[in-house]
Amino acid sequence: MLERFYIVNIVVEDRQNAYRQVNELLHEFADVIRLRVGYPVPDENVAIILLVLKANNDTIGSLSGKLGQIRGVKVKTMPIR
């Protein structure tokens, strides 16, 4: 299956309750993550995570779907090319 690059933006709106679940899930997909940048905003209980991945459509769909099921997490995915 064709692999291509994607940008995934994740906003964790409730760091205390959702951040651990997000990190565990990202660990499961570590083999396709090429870049991870995190920006914690503890005063607002928010974290922003930017990912660059190289994956196929099934993998990116699985990751974004699982992230979207976590309460307090918003995710947007965009193919680079």
pLDDT for res 78: 96
Q: Which tens digits make up the pLDDT trace of 28-76? A: 999 999 999 999 998 998 999 999 999 999 999 999 999 999 999 999 9
Instruction: Give the model's confidence band at 1: pLDDT under 50 very low, under 70 low, under 90 confident, else very high.
Output: confident
**For the chain, how many structural domains are there in total?**
1
Residue range(s) defining the domain that contains residue 39: 4-79
* Residue type present at position 21: Q
Which domain CATH number covers 15?
A: 3.30.70.1150
